[in-house]
Amino acid sequence: MSRRAKHLIVLVVWLILFLGMGLGAWELLGGELMLIVYIALSCIAYAAYALFSRCPNCRTPVLLRPVNLLGMEIYLWSVLTPRNCRHCGAPL
């Protein structure tokens, strides 16, 4: 199983858990707080994964995506893992 397929499975599981918590915990007292904590913890986990998952060849972060904006090259973080490294082109 490729890194991209594993990442897609994790995203689907996260979405199912988010919807399950949202529908189940919303009516509880503090349900909104539970969802905010869930999103905050998810963002922290994603940031850690985004910083530590690197291409085995060039060691560039895999989720870093260069974008040209008005002639400037800026970098954005993508949600999905690409099939190939955007820097060296090696398959992931």
Q: Using the structure block, give the residue that is written with the tokens 């890194």.
A: 3
pLDDT tens-digit readout, 41-63 = 888 888 888 888 888 888 888 88
Domain encompassing residue 70: 3-77
Residue 74: band (very low, low, confident or very high) from pLDDT cuts 50, 70, 90: confident
**72's tokens:** 């400037």
| Number of domains, the chain | 1
Please state, in angstroms and rounded to a whole number, the distance separating the CA atoms of residues 84 and 67.
16
Residue 82 lies in a domain: no
Residue 56 lies in a domain: yes
Residue 87 lies in a domain: no
Q: Using the structure block, give the residue that is written with the tokens 């940031």.
A: 47
Of 66, 57, 41, 44, give the one whose Cα is nearest residue 92.
57
For residues 78 and 65, is the Cβ–Cβ distance under 8 A?
yes
Q: What's this model's pTM, rounded to 2 decimal places? A: 0.66
